[in-house]
Amino acid sequence: MSQSSSQPNRLAQGGQVDRSRELTFTFNGKRYVGHPGDTLASALLANGVDIVNRSFKYSRPRGIVAAGAEEPNAVVQLGASEAAQVPNVRATQQALYQGLEARSTNGWPNVQRDLMASVGKLGGSFMPPGFYYKTFMAPASMWMTYEKYIRKSAGLGRSPAESDPDIYDHLNQHCDVLVIGAGPAGLTAALTAARSGARVILCDEQERLGGSLLDSRELLDDAPASQWAQAVIDELAAMEDVTLLPRTTANGYHDHNFVTLHERRTEHLADVAPRVDGRRQSRSRLHRVRAAQVVLATGAHERPLVYANNDVPGNLLAGAVSTYVRRYGVAPGQKLVLTTSNDHGYRAALDWQEAGREVVAIVDARDNPDGELVEQARAAGIRLITGSAVIEAKGDKRVSGARVARIDIDGFQVVGKVEELACDTIASSGGYSPVIHLSSHTGTRPVWREDILGFVPGKVKGLTPAGGAQGIYALDEVLEDGVAAGNRAAEAAGFTAARLELPRAVARRESPAVALYQVPHEKPTLRAPKQFVDLQNDVTAAGIEVATREGFESIEHVKRYTAMGFGTDQGKLGNINGMAIAARCLGQTIPETGTTVFRPNYTPVTFGAIVGRHCRELFDPERYTALHQWHVEHGAEFEDVGQWKRPWYFPRTVNGKKESMHDAVARECLAVRQGVGILDASTLGKIDIQGPDAREFLGRVYTNKWAKLAPGRVRYGLMCKDDGMLMDDGTTSCLGDNHFLMTTTTGGAAGVLEWLELWHQTEWPELQVYFDSVTDHWATMTVTGPEARKLMAEVTDIDLDKEAFKFMDWREGTVAGVPARVFRISFTGELAYEINVQANYAMHVWKTLFAHGEKYDLTPYGTETMHVLRAEKGLIIVGQDTDGSVTPEDLNMYWAIGYDKPFPWIGKRALSRPDTRRIDRKQLVGLRPHDPKVVLEEGAQIVFDPEQAIPMTMVGHVTSSYYSPVLDSGFALAVVKGGHHRMGETVYLPMADGKVHAAEIVSTVFVDPKGERQNV
Amino acid sequence: MFHIYCPYCEEHREEEEFHPKGQAHIARPADPDACSDAEWGDYLFFRDNPRGIHHELWVHAVGCRKFFNITRHTVTYEILETYRMGEQPTITAESLAREEKADKVQVADGGQQTVGASDAALASMKGAQA
Amino acid sequence: MSDVRLFDSRPTAEVEAESPLVLSQLDERARRAPASPGVTLRERAFLGHLILRGGAIVLDEAVRQVLGVSLPARPGALVLDESGERSIQWLSPDEWLVIVPDGEAFSLEQRLRDALGDAHFAIVDVSGGQTVVELSGPMAREVLMKSTPYDVHPRHFPAGKGVTTTFAKATAILRRPDEGRWELVLRRSFADYCYRWLVDAGEEYGLAVSTGD
């Protein structure tokens, strides 16, 4: 057949691939053919591609070892275009599609000929564990240079250099029972739980549900196991409250049964998600699952045996050989030697032989194996060599032979003569390691079970392990265990156990496995050819031995010294062997040695799936005021204030030239000082406070007095924490005797409301008062400047007479026909009216003000002008002029401190601590640069003595600094040690460029020190 | 990601709806001026950091906006109970130790069950609310 | 409570009003609706929104008297009057949200205040601060699953329930007035963000915007 000639290792029949259709793909630029149903790995093996990568440290050629998530070598870079590049994809988990393009991630300049290989071949003594640490440590400054080359030669894949064309999303899921793994245990657990009525999610990382049943030799009800699996899947699919998720890896198991599932929705179709009905669909989806109960049916990973040169291409896991033969119709070689420590491995030899290929020998470490599978192999005429193991693979780029010898496991030595068998494939089985990664994510330590020679999951609340994940491997027992787990989980979630008729499975007699973690060699470990423990991180048995000799006794230290179980591999194949070797070297048992901690993610997750739709314009909420559209239309530049978009300044375009920020701000400032300006202040936090104890409450949370504030009046208040440090400020208006409207800073709104609730709910629940946010209900516009009254008079029915409506009064009426509360408070120092109207009507009011304001040249201004104007008046911004270490006294705001209020208000006690009484505290002052052209840098450090040698004594810093168009000079606010008593003194600000600015300490009020302008 | 039972909404909610507010049962001294600086400093700044049972104040910030308490195991992260403001925990380091003693089971690790808001600490709390 | 200042923030004059979603150009989207949408969005703008604070026992009788429905005292409960136009929802043990047709909020507040007399309570008009977006269609639930960590499965979220929860990176009140509709009560300043989020989340199902009734 033409296919088999182009795919030398494709069997003529068998497997679940669709031989009637061909898919073409490229690997490292070379074109190959595979079939629907293939993974990239099975297609590469079918095409006889032996070398898929170069190893991380020694740059040795590496081939495919496994058939699933545990694959350590075949980690590839995917993507036909630059934008579609995906690193770190396991070829064993990547379904083949037409036009797939993949490359090796390691190997420079290419995997066949590798520059680093010569280094790797020189042997262990040149690159011991810690090689990079030891060799490239000095000089420290060179590490960056070394690292660049190490990384290039190590090749960890690369991220795309262009924007990702795909979209990704998250789905929040909830269920009674989440079943992870859809093999025999998972399927029965899911069906049992679903029949009990529970909401069930069943996920599996493979392309199809079914797990080991997809390629099992076992019969269920006298039919292939995959048929029974399909019947179960069909029943589950028809149930309303069951969600089936193939191609979905449970990657992280977090607190309280929160599990993240990574579903690859279109990765099997193309490298860019195809559109459906012209609509985009997400390429990957992260399911954020909150499960009442979790059934861990993740099965087990086969452990490879650790023998010399066990990394040469052609060395595979026994189970992987079976999977490639039975599921994909691929025999990755011609002549097989199987080396095993248990019965299960025998299946690989039986499958190989049934595929029409030659089994050279089965090498069994046990002396007298007699299980059913062993008998089958004997009956099939396969040569059986017992009490022995493959101690070394021969070959360079592909296995060419196996050196076999009798071994003494307990004595850890080779006994007897070595026989060399010619072969091109060595399958090894050292038993199974339950896949306990997920349960370990919770922090639970796994438990060693000597009877199964493996770790099983430790106890996790709401978690039930099932089947292979807890060391049960016989199919009939696994099915039963799945039912039990499904029922346990359903019952724990409040449902009544359901019945499930199990199919007939043949119970097989097994001979016990033997513990074999490292196969002895004729030479001692340190001198034998490399015996790899962790293929992905190039950790050898000798490396672990060296680590223990160098004093690394904790397994976590051994891990870090050798890199065993690092990175995306997370020790899937190597960890148990590595720990066992460390234990032997240390003269300990395995449980004494313990395991390292497995961490999320189980396999790599693309950043896109983690980010989901929280990107681009949806990265973070943008909060808009009711007037936003106007600001946009009038060319505002915006500033982010928290999540708010606030107009920063409104540059005008004159003669086609856009005003600079400096010019715009100067113009806006002068408009307010000389005419009238308007600010959108809607972002200020606003809290409605009602209740008979509202006034008392204000007195406790503000530093100043509230007892006598009459309805119609407004007061500025300072809010401290109990450590005496300022946390927020704002005005509060008395609307009625039991009714107040508090304003907070824009950024402080949510925090202040929570702060009020904290004190009310935890300390003073007896006070009758309610707090409610009305920030969004009101739009706030500040009309300010000498012409403000004239403008307001045109649009309001409120009596604006300066006696009837004084500074720090508020009145209600209509503005532009809309009911409004108007407050005479000023953050500019000018006559100001702050108008509150219901936000739905704000645009009408704003536009009406402009319609009338034209003759006064009403000027919109933004936050920058607001900052300049308030700073000219010495008005602070909490969080800019304060930083959580500033008391009201430091701000010289004694007038706002009610020392004699009856209740010990929040922050009062702290003001009498010795530290807050120090006279050399940093205190807020004004700074006037000697050179008026200088605008000091905000954050610049201040010294008294510019001649002092470095390090100089720093005595404060600039908190706010601007150019004032009114003063035609730079000016600043700053905190300076003992500043209040240093008026008129000169301080210095040494800058990074060597300049030293001199400035005079002055009052914080630069404009209108008597406050006459706002009080007209 | 914790899953937290809000004792006011009477159902479990995701952690992102809540804010942690530190150790529970820290009562503000009724007469701050009567506190020495050291006592005031204790109230302001000093908190337990137990390995084991801890009582914490949380607020259901995106939800009912109510403050409540959580008894949490700081090693397993298990939330053993949540209870409303003004209520006392039914599970404390001492009560667990008593239970384990009664069961003739030793406490797993002597150092694990340190004092959070222990019975004794709660009793001696200045101005503790009922 | 006579010491609270009542204020009708709704103009009597003819004044153009703008909903928080004015930026989102609903009309334009409505013209581009797909043939068989999986999810349909509709804004219910300019409704009267009142926050009612107080003890359940204090408020219950007044609410029954004025609104004709019992105060939902169970956490998460939402009740509608017979017409379905007025609703009251439990927000916290001492907080309820009342939503009524445009123009009814102020008179409702007055009547409630009269009925409540000198009891300790609070009523706050927040009509300008939030808007209602309605979701319907076969994929509405999946759009919500993309948006909120709250469990929206019918077993857990039957009609007659409402909760305050996280919505994307903002917050929202999510409620289910009947089997066929979900309502999101969105804060004004976050409304545009939430709306854009919904449009993006609904894209793959075919999303329609309806501006009519």
pLDDT in tens, A22-68: 999 999 999 999 999 999 999 999 999 999 998 878 889 999 999 99
Burial A180-201 (b: 16+ CB within 10 A, else e): bbbbbbbbbbbbbbbbbbbbbb
| Mean of the per-residue pLDDT values of chain A | 93
What pLDDT shows up at residue A568?
Answer: 75
Indicate whether B130 belongs to any domain. no
Question: DSSP letter string over A942-1007?
Answer: EES-TTSPSSP-EEEEEEEEEEETTTTEEEEEEEEETGGG-TT-EEEEE-TTS-EEEEEEE-S--S
Domain harbouring A680, CATH code: 3.30.1360.120
| Number of domains observed in the structure of chain B | 1
Asked if the bond preceding A369 is cis, omega within 30° of 0, the reply is no
Does A753 lie in the same domain as A679?
yes
In a domain, A987, yes or no: yes
Do the chains contact at B8 and C93, CB–CB below 8 Å?
yes
Mark whether A323 and A424 lie in a shared domain.
yes
Does residue A829 contact residue C20 with C-beta atoms inside 8 Å?
no
CA atoms within 13 A on the CB side of C207: 22
Looking at residue B116, which CATH number applies to its domain? 3.30.2270.10
Provide the 10 A C-beta neighbour count for residue C107: 13
In this structure, the answer to whether residues A712 and A848 fall within a common structural domain is yes
For residue A322, the Cα-to-chain-centroid distance in whole angstroms is 37
Q: Checking DSSP bridges between strand A300-302 and strand A637-641, what pairing results, if any?
A: unpaired
Same-domain status, A238 and A366: no
pLDDT at A148: 55
Whether A617 maps to a domain, the answer reads no
Contacts of A415 (CB under 8 A, 6+ apart): A405, A406, A407, A408
Q: What is the mean pLDDT of residues A599-618?
A: 92
Q: How far apart are CA A102 and CA A39, in angstroms?
A: 12
Render pLDDT for A457-516 as a digit per residue (tens, 0 to 9).
999 999 999 999 999 999 999 999 999 999 999 999 999 999 899 999 988 899 999 999
- pLDDT of the residue at B128: 36
Structure confidence by residue, pLDDT tens digits, A416-459: 899 999 999 999 999 999 999 999 999 888 999 999 999 999 99
For residue C60 the two structure tokens come to 């219950």
Tell me the one-letter amino acid at A698. Answer: L
Query: Is the distance from CB of A203 to CB of A211 less than 8 angstroms?
Result: no
A308 occurs within a structural domain: yes
Residues A958 and A1003 both lie in one domain: yes
Q: How many domains does chain A have?
A: 6
| A559 vs A331, residue with greater confidence | A331
In the structure, what pLDDT confidence band is assigned to residue B121 with cuts at 50, 70 and 90? very low
Give the closest-approach CA distance of C166 to chain B in angstroms.
6
At C133, list the tokens: 């977006």
Predicted-assembly ipTM surpassing the 0.85 threshold = yes
pLDDT beyond 60 at A412: yes
> Could you give the CA distance from residue C21 to residue C132 in angstroms, rounded to a whole number?
10
Average pLDDT value for chain C? 95
Handedness of CA B90, B93, B96, B97 (dihedral sign): negative
In a domain, B68, yes or no: yes
Q: Is A494 on the interface with B (CB under 8 A)?
A: no
To the question of pTM greater than 0.90 for the whole model, the response is yes
HSE-CB of A577 using CA atoms within 13 angstroms = 31
What's the pLDDT band for C2 if we cut at 50, 70, 90?
Answer: low
**Do A176 and A278 fall within a single domain?**
yes
Report the distance separating Cα A806 and Cα A787, nearest Å: 16
Contacts of A1012 (CB under 8 A, 6+ apart): none
Percent of chain C at pLDDT exceeding 70: 99
CA atoms within 13 A on the CB side of A66: 23
**Which residues partner with A927 through β-bridges?**
A972, A1001
The reported pLDDT for the residue numbered A130 is: 63
Residue B79 lies in a domain: yes
Q: In this predicted model, what pLDDT tens digit does every residue of A555-592 receive, in sequence order?
A: 889 988 988 888 777 788 998 999 999 999 999 999 88
CB proximity under 8 Å: C 57-86 to A: none
Residue of C nearest to B14 (CA): C149
Q: Which residues of B touch A (CB under 8 A)?
A: 1-3, 14, 19, 21, 27-28, 31-33, 35, 37, 40, 43-45, 57, 59, 61, 65-67, 75-79, 85-86
The DSSP H or E segment spanning A794 is helix A788-795
At A456 the pLDDT is: 95
CA distance C68 to chain A (A): 25
Domain that holds residue B16: 3-123
Q: Phi and psi at residue B13, in whole multiples of 5°? A: -130, 160
Contact criterion met (CB < 8 Å) for B16 and C163: no
Nearest CA-CA distance, residue B37 and chain C, Å:
38
Q: What residues contact A718, with CB distance under 8 A and at least 6 apart?
A: A702, A703, A704, A726, A729, A888, A893, A896, A897
CB A265 within 8 A of CB A282: yes
Q: According to the model, what pLDDT value does residue A598 have?
A: 85
Q: Do A912 and A922 reside in the same domain of the chain?
A: no
Could you read off the pLDDT of A713-755 as tens digits, one per residue? 999 999 999 999 999 999 999 999 999 999 999 999 999 999 9
Looking at residue A115, what is its pLDDT? 53
- A68-71, Cβ contacts within 8 angstroms, sequence gap of 24 or more: A68/A92, A68/A93, A68/A205, A68/A206, A68/A301, A68/A320, A68/A323, A69/A93, A69/A205, A69/A249, A69/A572, A69/A602, A69/A603, A70/A301, A70/A572, A70/A573, A71/A41
Over 80: is that where the pLDDT of A596 sits? no
Compare CB distances from A692 to C46, C120, C190 and report the shortest one's residue: C120
Confidence of residue A5 (pLDDT cuts 50, 70, 90): low
Strands A996-1002 and A986-990: antiparallel
pLDDT of residue C33: 81
| Cβ pair A61, A554 in contact under 8 A | no
Task: Tell me A279's DSSP state.
Answer: B
Judged against a pLDDT cut of 50, whether residue A281 lies above it is answered with yes
CB contact under 8 A, C166 and B16: yes
- Both A818 and A834 in one domain: the answer is yes
Which H or E element spans position A32?
strand A30-34
Paired tokens of A134? 């030891």
Whether residue A872 is predicted with pLDDT greater than 90 in this model: the reply is yes
A722 and B44: CB-CB below 8 Å?
A: yes
Query: Which pLDDT does position A858 carry in this prediction?
Result: 98
pLDDT of A287: 98
* Distance in angstroms (rounded) separating the CA atoms of residues A751 and A757: 10
Q: Which CATH superfamily is domain C22-210 in?
A: Probable tRNA modification gtpase trme; domain 1 (3.30.1360.120)
Does the pLDDT value for residue C180 go beyond 80?
A: yes
pLDDT at A204 exceeding the cut of 50: yes
Residue C176 to residue C158: CA distance in whole angstroms: 7
In this predicted structure, what is the pLDDT of residue A110? Answer: 62
Confirm whether B44 is domain-assigned. Answer: yes
A932: domain CATH number? 2.40.30.110
Please tell me whether residues A291 and A316 are part of one structural domain: no
Average pLDDT for residues A162-175, to the nearest whole number?
A: 96
Question: Quick one: A821 and A878 in the same domain?
Answer: yes
pLDDT 10s digits, B36-69: 999 999 999 999 999 999 999 999 999 999 999 9
Q: Which residue has the tokens 């545990």?
A: A70
Provide the domain limits for residue A980.
918-1009
Q: Which residues lie closer than 8 Å to A1006 by C-beta, 6 or more apart?
A: A871, A872, A873, A874, A926, A928, A964, A967, A971
H helices of chain C, in order, are 26-31, 56-67, 105-116, 140-145, 188-202
In this predicted structure, what is the pLDDT of residue C30?
A: 77
Specify the 3-state DSSP secondary structure of A836.
strand
Q: What is the pLDDT of residue A595?
A: 80
The predicted pLDDT at position C27 comes to 77
The answer to whether residues A391 and A380 belong to one domain is yes
Strand order in the sheet with A30-34: A30-34, A23-27, A100-104, A75-78, A86-90
- Residues A354, A488, single domain; the answer is no
B/e letters for A949-975, b = 16+ CB within 10 Å, e = fewer, are eeebeebbbbbbbbbbbbeebbbbbbb
Residue B17 lies in a domain: yes
Given this model, what pLDDT does residue A117 score? 54
